[in-house]
Structure 1
C-alpha cells in the first residue's frame, strides 16, 4: 500500500473512531454520576448528577424520582445538576437508575474512627522522638495510605499512590491557599527585616534602650509580656514581632528560648481572643451568627460576644499565670529544667569565652552605629501599618456614620470585616523597604550588603515554613477524613446535663484544636454544631429563655477558650510553630515546656471557672478566685532558679 494511502486510512480511523464509540454509548446509555474522591462511613456524602452530561428526556422535567439502592429519592432539578446526600455505612454496591439510564459502583467507605490516626500518629511521634519533620510526614503518609487502601485493589498501588498524594495533592493544596501563601510571605519578610535591622545595628540599639527597663531576668520577661499584650490586634503579628524583637534581650539576660517562646505564644492568641478590636472578631461573629440563625435568637452576634467575654477564663488566667511566673521568679516541670540548663550553658560559655552560635548571629561589626530607630521605625511600621491596613480593608462608611453605634463598636465592626492577610503583607513589605532605606540613606550598609542580609533573612525562615506547609497538609487530611466529626460524635453522643455542657465543650474544643492544629478551624466546626445543641438541651431540661441564654453565653466562651488551649498544646499548630520560629527555639522543646503550663491553666479554667459559672456563680467572683489559685500554684509548686 502506498505511504500516502496508509496515512489517509489512519486519518479516517482516528476521525471516525470517537464517533463509533459515541454511537455505541448511545445504544446503551450510562448515567453520569459524580461521587467524592474520599467517602467516609457515617458521614453524609454528596452525590451529584450533572445535567450537561445526561441529555435524556427527564432533564426537561421539574423533578424526578431517583432509584438509589431500591430507595426512592425525590431529586429536584437545579440549574446545572441534581444533588442529594446519602450516608454509607459499610461496603455496598450503590446503584442509580433514572428511566433508561443507570449507574452502578461498589463503594467501600473509610470507617470514621480511622480519621483520628493521622494527627494522633504525628503528635505522638513529635512528642516522643522530638523530631517534627518526620512526625508530620509519617502522619501525612498514614492518612493518605488509609485513604488509598480503601480505593485501590492492590496494597502496592495504594502504597505508591499514598506517597505521591502527599506532594501532588496535599502539599500543593496547602500552598494553593492564598491565606497560607500570605503567612509564608509575611514570615519571610519579617525574617528579612529582622536580619537587616540586626546587621545595620538597629536591633542592638533597641537592646541598649530596652536594657534600661530590662536589666534583669524578671524585668526582661515582664517587658516581653507587656509587649505581647500591647500588640493585641493580631496573633501572627504579635508572635513574630515580639519574639524577634525580644530574643536578643532575653539572650543577654540569660532567659531560656523555651521561656521566651512560651511568653510569646501565650500572650498572642489569648489577648487577641479577648480584645474587642482584633482580627478574630469578624470570623467569630460570623460563626456566632450562623448558629443564631438556626435557633432564631434576636440578639446580635456582637452583643453575644460582649456577654461571653467575662467567662473566657482560659485567656484571662493564662495572661495572669505568666505574670505570676515572672514576678515570683519561679517555674516548675520541664520549663524549670530548661531554665536551669540555659543558665548552666551560658555560664560555661562565659567561662570558656565561646559564645553560642545564636549569639554569634546577632553580633555586628564594631564600626556600625547602634541607633535604635533603625529598628524601631520598621517595627513601628509593622505594628501600626497592620492596624491601618485592617481599618483600610474593612472600612464601611455605613457603619462609621451610624450614630447609634459607639466608637469602639464601629472600630470592632470595621476590623472584624477586614482582610488581615493583606494588612500583614502591606505592613511587612513597607517595613522591609523602610529598613533598606535607613541602611542605605545613612551609608551603614551598601546595596549588595543590604540585599545579602535580606536573602539571609529569607533563609532563616525556611525550616519553619517547611513545618508550616506540612502542618497545613496534615490539617487538610484531617478535614477530608472528618476527624473533628469523629471527636465530636464520640464526646457529645451521651445525654449530658446543661450545666456540664460548657466544660465538656471546652474539653472537646481543646481536643479538636490539638488534633487539627487550628483554633479557627475548631471554631468553624463547633459554633454551628454546639450552640444550637446547647439551646435545645437547655430547653429540653426545662430551662426558660433567660437561663438558657446564660448557658449559651458560657458555651460561646468555652468553644473559643478551648480552641486556644488546644492550639497552645498542639505541635502541629501554626501559631505554636511561629512562636518557636520567632524565638529561635527548638519546636518540640517549646511544646514540651509549654504543655504542663497550658494544662494547669486549663484545669483551673474548668474547675474554678466554667463549672461554677454554669451554676450561676458570678465572673466577678470566679476570676479573682482563679487568680488566687494560680498564685498559690506558682508559689508552692514553683521553684526559683539558681542565681
Structure 2
C-alpha cells in the first residue's frame, strides 16, 4: 500500500506543487513581452508589453521606468498593454526592464537591404523571362525564405517553411482582404458581361456604330483616348470597360494590343488622379490630413489638393503625349515594332499567348444573330452610371450637402471621396450582368443554357489575370513586412538637398517605390506622412517664409501622387497594369515593355520642365507650353511614322 502511494500520490502531489509554484511564479511576473513576428533592422518596430492595470498604474505614477538595454524609452498605453517603439540594428540581446523585473531575449533582425531582393528578383525575372506567374512566385519564395532564414531555423527547414508560408499566409491574406475580393468579383463579373454581350451581338453592334467615327487606326485610337478620359471617376472601371469595349474596334483597324493597353492604362490612373470627383479623392485627402496634423498647418486638405493640381505634371503630360502620338501617327521603341506588326495583320507580337490565356475564341458572336448596339450599350452604361450612383449613395453625407459655404463641386467631391468604391463597382457590375442576361433571354437571342455557358466562359477568361493579381498582392505584403519602402526612402532621403530639388527627388522616390511594390496607393500611404512634414521643415531650415514653404509643400504633394502613378505604370507587378493587359487581351510583359519608354519619357519631361522649374518659382503659364512643346518635339523627331490603313 505504501509502495502504491509512493508511486501514485507522491508524484501527483509533486505535480500539483509544481503547478502551484508555476502559477505563483506567473503571478509574481507582472508582464510579458511580445515582439514583432518579423523583425527588420534599422526600422522602428512595435514591441507590446502585456500586463495588468495595477502595474500600469505604478508606471503612470513614475514609480517604475521602462528601460530597453538600460535606456529609458517612451511608450503608449492601449487596452492595458504598453506599446514601445524600438529600432533593432544588429544581432543583439535585448533586455526590457521595468522596476526589478526584466525580460531578456536574443534577436537576430533581418538586414534591411535584403528587403529589396523579393520585388527586384520578381521584376527582373518577369522582364527577362516573360513569365509573370513564375516571376511573382519566385519573388514570393525569396521573401519568405529570407524571413524564415532569420528565425533561427536551418536553411533546409526554412526552405519548406517558405513554401508553406506562400500558400497559407501571404496568398490567403491577399484574398482575405475585402477590397481585393471585391476587385476579383468585379473583374469576373465584367468578364462574364463582356463574353455575353459579345455572344449576343451587342458588342458587334457597338463596333458598327463606333466604326462611323473610328474608321482608321488614328481615329480608333482617338476614340479610345476619349472614352478613357470620359470614364474619369474610377481607374478600375475605366480600364476594364474601355479595354473590353474598344478591343474589337482596334483589332479591326489593325491597332496593336500593346498600343490599346497603353492608351487604356495611361488614361485610367492619370485621369482619376487629377479629376476632382473620383474614388482617389477620399484616400488622398486622408493622407494629406495625416501630414498636416504633424506640422500644424491650418489649411484644409481639400484646399491643399486644389492648390496642388497645377503641378501634377505627369498625369497631364501623359494625356497630352498620347494625343501627339495619335495625331502624328508616330511611335518609337518597342511600340513602333508592335504597331508595324499589327498593320501587317499581326494583332500582337504575342498573339498565340493571348489566345490561350484570355480565350478570345469565346468572344465570337453566335451564329444567325442580328447585331444590336443596345444589347451591349445598356449593360456598359449601367456599369458607368451605376458606379457613379453607387459612389453617391455610399458617400452621401447630409451635413456636407447642407453646408452653404461649400460649392457644388466641393460637395460632390467630398461625397465621392467618402464613398465605398468597391461596393459601387460590385453593385454596378452585377446589375450590368443581370441586364445583359435579361436582354439576351427577353429577345430570345440565346437559350438559358447558352447564356449560362457564356457567363461561365467569361469567368474562365479572367482566371489567369486573377492568379497574377493574387500573387502580386501577396508580393506587396512581403515588401510591406520586410519594409522595402523604408530601405528605398532611407537611401534617397539621406541626401542633403535644397528644398527646390525635393519635389523632383520625391517624384523619383515615389516612382521607385511604386515600381518595386506595384501599388500607387500604398506608395502614397508611405510617403505622404513621411515626406510632407520633411518638406515643410526643410524649407524653413533654409530660411523660407510660410508662403514659400507652402509652394514647395503643394508641389511635393503633387510629386508624390504623380511619381506613384509613373511607378505604377512601369511596374509589371502593379494591379492596374495587369488589369490593363487583361482588358486589352495583351501579353502582360509586352504591355510593360512597350509602355515603359513612353512613361519614362513623360516622367523625364515632368521633372526637368515641370517640377524643378515650378519649385524655383517659374509660372505655370510658362511651364505648360514649354512642356507641351517638348513632348511634341520628342514625338516629331524621335517617332517613326506608322502607316495608318
TM-score bracket for the superposition, by shorter chain length: over 0.9
Is 1:294 the equivalent of 2:326? no
* Paired position in structure 2 for 1:449: 450
Shift of 1:20: 4.1
Query: 2:120 matched to 1:120?
Result: yes
| Cα distance change, pair 66–296 in 1 and its aligned pair in 2 (3 A) | closer
CA deviation vs aligned residue, 1:413-465 (integer Å, no higher than 9, x gap): 10000010000000000000000010111111111111111110000000000
Q: CA RMSD in A?
A: 2.4
The alpha-carbon deviation at position 58 of structure 1 amounts to 6.7
Question: SS at 2:543's partner residue?
Answer: coil
Offset of 1:295 from its aligned partner?
Answer: 1.0
The whole-number CA distance in structure 2 between the counterparts of 1:356 and 1:117 is: 33
Structure 2 equivalent of residue 217 of structure 1: 217
Q: CA deviation at 1:157?
A: 1.2
Alpha carbons of structure 1 residues 530 and 366: separation in structure 2 relative to 1, 3 Å: same
2:205 maps to which residue? 205
Name the SS for the 1:33 alignment partner: strand
Q: How much does 1:514 deviate? A: 0.4
**Aligned mates of 1:243, 1:377 — CA distance in 2:** 17
SS at match of 2:537: helix
The answer on whether the counterparts of 2:41 and 2:90 sit within 8 Å (CA) in structure 1 is yes
- Asked if 1:239 is matched to 2:243, the reply is no
- Partner residue of 1:96? 96
**SS of the residue 1:233 aligns to:** coil
Shift of 1:14: 10
Q: What does residue 62 of structure 1 align with?
A: 60
SS in 1 for 2:618: coil
Classify the secondary structure of the residue corresponding to 1:90.
coil
Q: How far apart in 1 are the matches of 2:47 and 2:348?
A: 66
C-alpha contact (below 8 Å) 2:56/2:80 kept by paired residues: no
* Secondary structure of the corresponding residue to residue 270 of structure 1: helix
SS of equivalent residue, structure 1 residue 32: strand
SS at match of 1:589: helix
- CA drift at 1:13: 9.3
Q: Per-residue CA shift, 1:277-298, capped at 9, x if unaligned?
A: 0001111111111111111111
Q: State the partner residue of 2:545.
A: 544
Aligned position for 2:50:
50
Aligned residues of 1:277 and 1:416 also touching (Cα < 8 A): yes
- The 5 Å alignment of 1:10-159 reads 20-21=18-19, 23-24=21-22, 26-27=24-25, 31-51=31-51, 62-63=60-61, 64-73=64-73, 78-99=78-99, 101-159=101-159
- The equivalent of 2:529 in structure 1 is 528
Distance in 2, matches of 1:46 and 1:331, equals 51
| Cα distance, 1:160 vs structure 2 | 1.0
| Residues 106/56 of structure 1: CA separation in 2 closer, same or farther (3 Å cut) | farther
* Structure 2: distance between partners of 1:153 and 1:363: 55
Equivalents in 2 of 1:638, 1:208: separation in Å?
31
Whether contact under 8 Å (2:256, 2:347) holds in the other structure is: no
Q: Within 1, Cα distance between the matches of 2:122 and 2:17?
A: 52
Q: CA deviation at 1:159?
A: 1.2
| Cα distance in 2 between the residues matched to 1:76 and 1:630 | 52
Deviations 1:342-387 (A, max 9, x none): 23344999xxxxx988664432233112110000000000000000
Match of 1:630 in 2: 631
Q: Distance in 2 between matches of 1:313 and 1:171?
A: 36
Q: Secondary structure at the match of 1:438?
A: helix
CA distance in 2, matches of 1:18, 1:206: 81
Give the C-alpha shift of residue 337 in structure 1.
0.7
1:118-517 alignment runs, 5 A limit: 118-346=118-346, 360-517=361-518
Unaligned 5+ runs, structure 1: 350-354
**Partners of 2:311 and 2:555 within 8 A in 1:** yes
Deviation of 1:77 (Å):
5.3
Q: Hey, what does 1:572 align to over in structure 2?
A: 573
Give the Cα separation in 1 of the matches to 2:415 and 2:299: 20
Q: Secondary structure at the match of 1:103?
A: strand
Alpha carbons of 1:489 and 1:237: their partners in 2 closer, same or farther (altered >3 Å)? same
CA contact (8 A) 2:310 2:620 kept: yes
Which stretch has the larger CA shift, 380-389 or 148-157? 148-157
1:86 Cα deviation from its structure 2 partner: 1.4
**Unaligned ranges ≥5, structure 2:** none
Distance 2:483 2:623 in 1: 36
The Cα of 1:94 is off from its aligned counterpart by 1.3
d(CA) in 1 for partners of 2:276, 2:601: 26
Task: Please give the alpha-carbon distance, in whole angstroms, between the structure 2 residues aligned to 1:446 and 1:306.
Answer: 53
CA shift digits 1:523-580 (9 cap, x unpaired): 1111111111111111111111111111111111111100000000000000000000
Instruction: Kindly state the Cα deviation for residue 408 of structure 1 after the two structures are TM-superposed.
Output: 0.7
Could you tell me how far apart the structure 2 residues matched to 1:13 and 1:598 are?
76
Aligned length, in residue pairs: 630
CA distance in 2, matches of 1:152, 1:615: 52
Distance 1:77 1:368, change over 3 A: closer
Q: Distance in 1 between matches of 2:576 and 2:589?
A: 13
With over 3 angstroms needed to count, the CA separation of the structure-2 counterparts of 1:340 and 1:75, relative to structure 1, is closer
8 Å CA contact 1:65–1:74 kept in 2: the answer is no
Structure 1 residue 74: deviation in Å? Answer: 6.1
**Kindly tell me: are residues 347 and 62 of structure 1, through their superposed partners in 2, closer, same or farther at Cα, counting changes over 3 Å?**
closer
State which drifts further: 457-466 or 441-450. 441-450
Secondary structure of the residue aligned to 2:500 is coil
Displacement, 1:17?
A: 5.8
Structure 1 residue 19: Cα displacement: 8.0
- When residues 427 and 574 of structure 1 are mapped into structure 2, their CA distance, relative to the original with a 3 A threshold, is same
- Report deviation, 1:103: 2.2
State the Cα distance separating 1:67 from its structure 2 match.
Answer: 3.6
Q: 1:292 to 1:58 in 2, by over 3 A?
A: closer
Distance 1:367 1:507, change over 3 A: same
Partner of 1:605: 606
Matched position secondary structure for 2:86 = strand
Name the CA distance, whole Å, in 2 between partners of 1:139 and 1:300. 41
Alignment check: 8 A CA contact 1:66 1:97 kept:
yes
User: How has the CA–CA distance of structure 1 residues 26 and 221 changed in structure 2, closer, same or farther, with 3 Å as cutoff?
Assistant: same
Q: CA deviation at 1:635?
A: 1.1
Deviation string 1:241-267 (CA, Å, 9 cap, x unpaired) is: 000000011111111100000000000
Q: Structure 1 residues 262 and 60 mapped into 2: Cα distance closer, same or farther (>3 Å)?
A: same
Deviates more, 1:340-349 or 1:438-447: 340-349
- What secondary structure does 1:443 align onto? coil
Give me the whole-angstrom Cα distance separating, in 1, the residues matched to 2:346 and 2:78. 70
Task: Using structure 2 for the length normalisation, give the TM-score.
Answer: 0.94
Please report how far the alpha carbon of residue 196 of structure 1 lies from its aligned counterpart in structure 2 after TM superposition: 0.7
